[in-house]
Amino acid sequence: MNKIIMSALFLVSATFMPAMPALMGGKPLISTVEKGKPEISEYIFEEMEENVADMEVSNEPYRVLNCSTGEITEVSVRDYVIGAVAAEMPASFEEEALKAQAVAAHTYAERQRNLQRKAPDKALGNADFSDDPNKYQGFFTNEKIRHYFGDNYDIHYNKIAAAVDEVLPYIITYDDEPIIAAFHSMSSGKTESAENMWGTAVDYLVPVNSKSDKDAPNYIDETEISVDFVRARLEKVFEGVQLGDSPENWIKTGAKSDSGTVLEVTVGDVKASGNDIREAFGLRSADFTVDFKDNNFIFTTRGYGHGVGMSQYGANHMAKEGKGWKNILEHYYNDCEIISVK
């Protein structure tokens, strides 16, 4: 069980809620850098109405803004996709899962580049996106990859590069446009719809079976938080909320989706969503229950991430069963096409 102290959680919470860019509001809500464990990144979106028709796909290098130096560096498509896969999925995963992640990463980059050209973000200058993982897809330079993998650099880099090289020409499209290639670590056993998670329906981001996720590491997780901190946090997030004197009544969950996401929550006298609670306390997912015991709140979560799009652990399980990268992508992105951009 995770026991959260006040100061630490405030620091974590700050990383959960930065401004979201127009591509998908893309930000990794959770990211770990422990060797041998997956980079848990997930991307969501803010402006679903963005018109991305007549997009073009090219093999031109991506222009990446280095936030620490302010410099814009040109990165080849190949090097960018390798760096994105290294940052987003553990090299220990099956090759077909790595290939699926590579195509999703390439698709993400193409969509972002085209949106930046259509509606430039002045903060990026002439860049397509930055290396800020709080706003854009994770990306490691070769130097970072070498540092991250250490003595295993050659083995892991070569494995990822080989996977990328096999699928580099491909991206995922819907209605001739690069898709919102949302992904997450593991679902609760069934992926979630974009409509339930973010309020707007997306034809290809709908629930699909991913029951193998229930066997993923730490599928069920408990987080214990003191009553004092919960009060302070709720009063900060839900300004003006009236909680009352009975802590067991402060957070009451209501309706859930078929995928397990808590859709409705009553916080004191305020109506909220499960995702609001997830972000407020840095929970692993919005599929949770909450109990009050011994002056502490205990949140029990299932899955890890928003649950929309491709499950990384689900993809790895499919690969272990002999499914190819195309099968994986076709399963998680409903009715989409995989096209070659050469």
Q: What percent of the chain has pLDDT above 70?
A: 83
- The answer on pLDDT for 228 being more than 90 is yes
- Alpha carbon distance 289, 301 (integer Å): 7
Does one domain contain both 287 and 332? no
Q: What is the DSSP string of 288-321?
A: EEEEEETTEEEEEEESBS--BSEEHHHHHHHHHT
Count other C-beta atoms under 10 Å from residue 124's C-beta.
Answer: 19
pLDDT in tens, 252-279: 999 999 999 999 999 999 999 999 999 9
| Residue 152 in domain | yes
Does one domain contain both 173 and 281? no
| Residue 154 in domain | yes
Does one domain contain both 81 and 23? yes
Confidence of residue 107 (pLDDT cuts 50, 70, 90): very high
Res 3: pLDDT: 61
Does one domain contain both 103 and 33? yes
Q: What is the mean pLDDT of the chain?
A: 86
Does one domain contain both 298 and 311? no
- For residue 106, the one-letter residue type is H
- The answer on pLDDT for 207 being more than 60 is yes
Does one domain contain both 165 and 292? no
Does one domain contain both 317 and 261? no
Tell me what the mean pLDDT of segment 48-62 comes to.
63
Tell me what the mean pLDDT of segment 40-48 comes to.
45
| Residue 76 in domain | yes
- The answer on pLDDT for 38 being more than 70 is no
Does one domain contain both 179 and 250? no
DSSP 334: T
Res 155: pLDDT: 98
| Residue 70 in domain | yes
- Alpha carbon distance 105, 84 (integer Å): 6
- The answer on pLDDT for 33 being more than 70 is no
- The answer on pLDDT for 57 being more than 70 is no
- The answer on pLDDT for 22 being more than 50 is no
pLDDT in tens, 148-190: 999 999 999 999 999 999 999 999 999 999 999 999 999 999 9
Q: Taking the CA of residue 72 as centre, how many other CA atoms within 13 Å lie in the half-sphere pointing to its CB?
A: 10
Tell me what the mean pLDDT of segment 11-32 comes to.
31
Total number of domains constituting the chain: 2
Q: What is the DSSP string of 171-184?
A: EEEETTEE----EE
- Structure tokens given for 214: 């229930």
Tell me what the mean pLDDT of segment 113-120 comes to.
92
Res 4: pLDDT: 54
Does one domain contain both 162 and 289? no
Phi, psi for residue 301 in degrees, rounded to 5:
-110, 155
Does one domain contain both 137 and 92? yes
- Structure tokens given for 65: 């803004």
Q: pTM here?
A: 0.85
Res 8: pLDDT: 39
| Residue 228 in domain | yes
Confidence of residue 14 (pLDDT cuts 50, 70, 90): very low
Does one domain contain both 225 and 196? no
Does one domain contain both 253 and 144? no
| Residue 271 in domain | yes
Confidence of residue 54 (pLDDT cuts 50, 70, 90): low
Count other C-beta atoms under 10 Å from residue 334's C-beta.
Answer: 15
Q: Nearest 5°: CA angle at 38, between 182 and 130? A: 55
Q: Is 184 helix (H, G, I), strand (E, B) or coil?
A: strand
| Residue 211 in domain | no
| Residue 242 in domain | yes
Decide if 306 contacts 286 (C-beta within 8 A): yes
Question: CB within 8 A of 37, min separation 6: which ones?
Answer: 90
Confidence of residue 56 (pLDDT cuts 50, 70, 90): low
* Alpha helices, DSSP H, located in the chain: 6-16, 77-88, 95-118, 142-149, 153-167, 194-198, 227-237, 274-281, 312-320, 325-332
| Parent domain of 42 | 17-205+307-340
